[in-house]
Amino acid sequence: MSRPSQRDPVSQANLGIDEEIASLLTAIEQEKVPDRLNKLAIELQNALIQKRGCKKDT
């Protein structure tokens, strides 16, 4: 088994990127979302659901 100092540099870089992505996602999740943006997102979801339903009928 290799010691941490002997790990593949690519694997170490990927681990660093994964940690950075996780950190960014955590920060994004903690941001307050404006009510208007939430309303628009719901409207978009509903429009997509309707469009998907129409395709099934054809």
Mean pLDDT per 10-residue run, the chain (58 residues)? 63 86 93 95 96 77
Local structure of residue 30 (DSSP, 8 states): H
Question: CA-to-CA distance for 35 and 32, rounded, in angstroms?
Answer: 9
Name the percent of the chain lying above pLDDT 90: 59
Distance of CA 50 to the CA centre of its chain: 24
pTM comes to 0.46
**Average pLDDT over the chain, rounded to whole?**
85
- Run of H or E including 27: helix 9-30
CA-wise closest residue to 15 among 25, 4, 1, 26: 4
